[in-house]
Amino acid sequence: LERDQTLELDKHLIKKDARKRIICIEGNIASGKTTCLDYFAQTTSIEVLKEPLSKWRNVRGHNILGLMYQDASRWGITLQTYVQLTMLEQHTRPMISPIRMMERSIHSAKHVFVENLYRSGKMPEVDYAVLSEWFDWIQNNTDVSVDLIVYLQTSPKVCYERLKTRCREEEKVIPLEYLEAIHELYEEWLIKRALFEVSCPVLVIGADHDMQKMIEKYEENRDQILNPPN
Ligand code: DCP
Closest CA to 152 of 64, 58, 218: 218
Which of 25, 49, 51 to mutate to test ligand 1, by most ligand atoms within 8 A of the CB atom?
51
ipTM of the complex: 0.88
Which helix (H) or strand (E) covers residue 119, if one does? helix 115-119
Beta carbons within 8 Å of 123's beta carbon, 6+ residues apart: 73, 76, 77, 80, 114, 117
Pocket of ligand 1 (CB under 6 A): 27, 29-34, 51, 53, 65, 68, 79, 83, 104, 109, 113, 171
Instruction: Read off the amino acid at residue 55.
Output: K
Q: For the segment 85-126, what is each residue's pLDDT rounded down to a tens digit?
A: 999 999 999 999 999 999 999 999 999 999 999 999 999 999
**Distance from the alpha carbon of residue 187 to the mean position of ligand 1, in angstroms:** 17
Q: For the segment 48-72, what is each residue's pLDDT rounded down to a tens digit?
A: 999 889 999 999 999 999 999 999 9
Instruction: Please give the tally of structural domains in the chain.
Output: 1
pTM of the model: 0.89
List, run by run, the mean pLDDT of 10-residue segments along the chain (230 residues): 58 55 96 95 92 93 96 98 97 94 97 98 98 97 96 98 90 94 97 87 96 94 82
3-class secondary-structure state, position 210: coil
Domain of residue 164 covers 3-226
Question: What is the CATH classification number for the domain harbouring 8?
Answer: 3.40.50.300
Sheet with 99-103: strands ordered across: 47-49, 99-103, 21-27, 148-153, 202-206
